[in-house]
Amino acid sequence: MTSDYLLEVDDVRTEFATSRGLVRAVDGVSLTLRPGETLGIVGESGSGKSVLGRTIMGLITNGPSTTVSGTVRLAGQDVHAISASQRRKLWGPKVAMVFQDPMTSLNPVKKVGVHITEALRLHLGVGKAEARERAVDLLKKVGIPEPARRMNQYPHELSGGMRQRVVIAMALSCDPELLIADEPTTALDVTVQKQILDLLASLSTTLNMATILISHDLGAVEGRTDRVQVMYAGRVVETARTQTVFNAPSHPYAEALLASIPRLNDPPHTILRAIDGTPPDMANPPSGCRFAPRCVYAADNCRTDPPVLADLGTALEPHRVACHYPLPAPGVTPPDLDPAGLVKEKN
Amino acid sequence: MFMPRKQTPEGSSLTRTQLGAVGAGLLIAGLALLVVGWSAPLVLFAKAVLVLAGVVTTSQGLSRVVWAVRGRRPDILVWLCSAWLVLLITVALLAPLLPLGEHVDVASALTAPTYQTPELLSEHPLGTNNYGLDLLARSVYGARTSLVISLLAVAIGTVVGGSIGVVAGYFRAGVDSVVGIFTNALLAVPPLILLIALGTVLDPKIRNIALALALITIPSMIRLARANTIAFAQREFVLAARAMGATRLRVMVRELTPNVMLPVFSMMIVMISVLIVAEASLSFLGLGIQAPEPTWGNMISEGEGGTMQDFPHVVLVPGTFLFLTVFSFNLLGEKAQKRWDARSAKI
């Protein structure tokens, strides 16, 4: 039972039966997370990151049109094997989630204070006055000015950034060991995005809380997570230390994602490098490597044999890539690619 | 705050003092018309016309005076409707304490004049009926019965229908289809026919009539609550509440119900007026509260058999009470609906 991992996800598959056929939103993803560790999950829209996050939470379970297989062990408990009431006990004190859109993730008719005190009273059984005191502390912790006054305001009286801070305070209320932030900044404007991401990063350090940061934005993850996992079409294509992926991506998709970030030190009129094509139809994915149709390096066997995750790194620093032709380490210029297009330098 | 910055109030071509003067003039003229019309020994038709003209002039005057004082054109109709309902409810509550004439005991009204026409300064300001019972007293006691029955029925209907609707809207699937069949079945029966059928079986007591009327409100309340629940259940705050460990009951009671309450509340107000009419129809047909116990419906039915041609006030007085009350509830209900409509609310 005792393992040094807080979270162990083993070969998780989440499938939805839709009218167009079976959609494998998450297709055999494994990951581990130690207490206090931070992990970034990056991928395009529809790559299965959010579904993965919700499957880890246990918010998506087996149902009439949903099948979840594989195991998710959170703090020693198999999230999908325990009863719904046992799972509810995990939510809050063990794992909490920050949602995408702070405009809809707060109840419009409940005051800010009630959002936070409710969970405190429910899970920790504290009294009304103490819950209120703790809620004010939490609001202060997430950087909300005049926390005592905000307690009595309704969500619509706060700005988007403030609301997301309230959502974060809500998630932190029961001191979770794992925080899953599902694209916490997509609905916010850029300056607020940075504030919220920095807040999450500093909170996970100060509270020693394991964090999974789900994002479609590589820049959001850079410098704020220990490890990063790149997902494409429901599968993990590359996982390594964040710096490794940023300095020397081995999977062509990770490289292409990096190349598509506009940089401030690009010369004027640089054409933004986009990835050609669109993500595959998940009801009918390509048979070989799922990225092959869009990959500039794809060879014939890429289109027929699906690559497996192979370890390129050391035992101490695993670096796993699912590619038949992983990109060479820096210093070696890959064929058919303008070296200037590869972004290796950090700004 | 009320210091005039410009001489002309918003939307008026007159200055503030001019507008006030016109208003005051209209107010005095209207009140004079009202008093003269009510107390003068004229034919009832002429009296009614004078009183009506007085009411219109008075309200126009009042509107202009408020306009001049506040600088903004008031929605005088809303205020008049609210005032009427407040007056009616107060008088109905305090009826036994007020110096009203005899409303039910025929024996003690033996010496009173029968079929007396309304006269403001007489002993019977709204006249008497065939037994010499005072019409003002009967209308006030009728308001008591009408309001108690319709409020009770709406309360029962809202609690039962609202909770069924929230449950159906939240769980969907099986529960929803069973509830759907039940609602459609109830809606398929014409309400008045259902009421008459119930009226012939049940004892005509306040409780029974209220229950029968509640049965009419239930299906529309179910539909309204269900539709709103479905809309709100898709918002992220429901998922967020679940992710903090809220049970399904808690989600329905604490998260969804407060949101669904607003549209349901405006529907309740409209429903009250519908039920007042329904109750009056039942008593008119002799299936509701039995004479001599007064209700607006059975008072109107006293005009049957030629009485109305000779003494129109017997019908006109309870009819006016009924009309004003139903109109007021309807108007306020519509205003509430506009204000709290989930689609237009920016939350």
- Alpha-carbon distance A95 to nearest alpha carbon in chain B (angstroms): 9
Kindly report, residue by residue over A266-299, the tens digit of the pLDDT. 888 888 888 888 888 888 888 889 998 888 888 8
Interface of B with A (CB under 8 A): 235-237, 239-247, 250, 254-255, 258-259, 261-262, 345-347
Q: Are residues B185 and B44 located together in one domain of the fold?
A: no
Same domain for B183 and B58:
no
Domain count, chain B: 2
Q: Which of B48, B74, B100 is the last residue of a domain?
A: B74
B237 vs A96, A106, A173: nearest CB: A106
User: To the nearest whole angstrom, how far is the Cα of B235 from the nearest Cα of chain A?
Assistant: 6
B88 has a pLDDT exceeding 90: yes
Give the end of a domain, one of B74, B93, B120: B74
Please tell me the distance from the alpha carbon of residue A51 to that of residue A29, in angstroms, as a whole number.
Answer: 11
Is A167 in contact with B245 (Cβ distance < 8 A)? no
Dihedral, CA of residue B105, residue B107, residue B110 and residue B112, to nearest 10: -20
Residue A55 pLDDT:
92
Q: Tell me: pLDDT of A104 over 50.
A: yes
Q: Is A232 on the interface with B (CB under 8 A)?
A: no
- Which of A90, A105, A156 lies closest to B237 in CB terms? A105
| Chain B interface includes A106 (CB < 8 A) | yes
Residue ranges per structural domain of chain A: 7-341
Of A186-200, A223-237, B223-237, the range with the lowest mean pLDDT is: A186-200
Domain assignment present for residue B58? The answer is yes
What is this model's ipTM?
0.79
- pTM reported for the whole predicted model: 0.79
Mean pLDDT of B10-20: 78
Same domain? For B243 and B156 the reply is yes
CATH code at position B259: 1.10.3720.10
| Beta-carbon separation of A108 and B247 below 8 A | no
Which phi and psi angles does A11 have, rounded to 5°?
50, 50
Does B108 reside within a domain?
A: no
Mean per-residue pLDDT, B117-131? 79
The answer to whether A283 and A22 are in contact (CB under 8 A) is: yes
Q: Are B233 and A93 a contacting pair, CB within 8 Å? A: no
Cα gap A331→A312, rounded to integer Å: 17
Domain boundary among B27, B51, B74: B74
- Count Cα atoms within 13 angstroms, Cβ side, for B199: 20
CA nearest to B150, candidates B337, B297, B316: B297
On whether residue B104 sits in a domain, the answer given is no
A57: amino acid identity, one letter: M
Residues whose CB is less than 8 angstroms from the CB of residue A83 and which lie 6 or more positions away in sequence, other chains included? none
Amino acid in the structure at residue A240: A
Looking at the structure, do residues B32 and B154 belong to the same domain, yes or no?
no
Burial of A140 (0-12, 13-18, 19+ CB in 10 A): middle
Picking from A307-321, B18-32, B150-164, B170-184, which range would have the lowest pLDDT averaged per residue? A307-321
Q: What is the pLDDT of residue B81?
A: 92
For B242, which of A59, A155, A173 is closest by C-beta distance? A59
Using DSSP's 3-state secondary structure scheme, residue A251 falls into coil
User: Residue B209 domain-assigned?
Assistant: yes
Tell me, yes or no, whether B153 and B33 share the same domain. no
Cβ distance of A97 and B240 shorter than 8 Å: yes
Q: Does any domain span residue B11?
A: yes
Residues B165, B313, single domain; the answer is: yes
pLDDT at B40 > cutoff 80: no
Which letter, b or e, does each residue of B180-201 get, where b requires 16 or more Cβ atoms within 10 Å of its Cβ? eeebeebeeeebeeebeebbee
CA A327 – CA A339 distance, rounded (Å) = 13
> Cα distance from B310 to chain A (closest Cα, Å)?
57
Please classify residue A293 by burial: count the beta carbons closer than 10 Å to its beta carbon, then call 0-12 exposed, 13-18 middle and 19+ buried.
middle
Question: B236–A104: do the CB atoms touch at under 8 Å?
Answer: yes
Window from A41-50, A321-330, B311-320 with minimum mean pLDDT: A321-330
A246 contacts: CB under 8 Å, gap ≥ 6: A218, A222, A258, A346
Query: Is the model's pLDDT at A259 over the cut of 90?
Result: no
Comparing CA positions, the residue from A82, A93, A159 lying closest to residue A122 is A93
Task: Please judge whether B240 and A99 are an interchain contact, meaning their C-beta atoms are less than 8 angstroms apart.
Answer: yes
CB–CB contacts below 8 A, A to B? 71
How far does the CA of residue A104 sit from the closest CA of chain B (Å)?
Answer: 5
Check whether A228 has a pLDDT greater than 60: yes
Name the range with the highest mean pLDDT among B102-106, B116-120, B226-230. B226-230
Tell whether B80 is covered by a domain.
no
Looking at the domain assignment, is residue B318 inside a domain? yes
Measured between CA atoms, how close is B157 to chain A, in angstroms?
23
CA torsion A333-A338-A341-A346 (nearest 10°) is 30
CB B258 within 8 A of CB A109: yes
Domain enclosing residue B58, as ranges: 1-74
**CB of A298 closer than 8 Å to CB of A289:** yes
Do A103 and A187 meet the contact criterion of CB atoms below 8 Å apart? yes
Indicate the residue of A88, A91, A104 with minimum beta-carbon distance to B235.
A104
Residues constituting chain A: 347
Distant-in-sequence, close-in-space partners of A89: CB < 8 Å, separation ≥ 6: A123, B245
| B31-35, B226-230, B287-291, range with greatest mean pLDDT | B226-230
* pLDDT exceeds 60 at position A345: no
Note whether B310 and B241 are same-domain residues. Answer: yes
Both B153 and B14 in one domain: the answer is no
Q: What percent of chain B has pLDDT over 90?
A: 33
Q: CATH assignment of A7-341?
A: 3.40.50.300
- When pLDDT is cut at 50, 70 and 90, the band that residue A14 belongs to is very high
Which of B171, B232, B244 to mutate against chain A (most A CBs within 10 Å)?
Answer: B244
Structure tokens of B86?
A: 């407040």
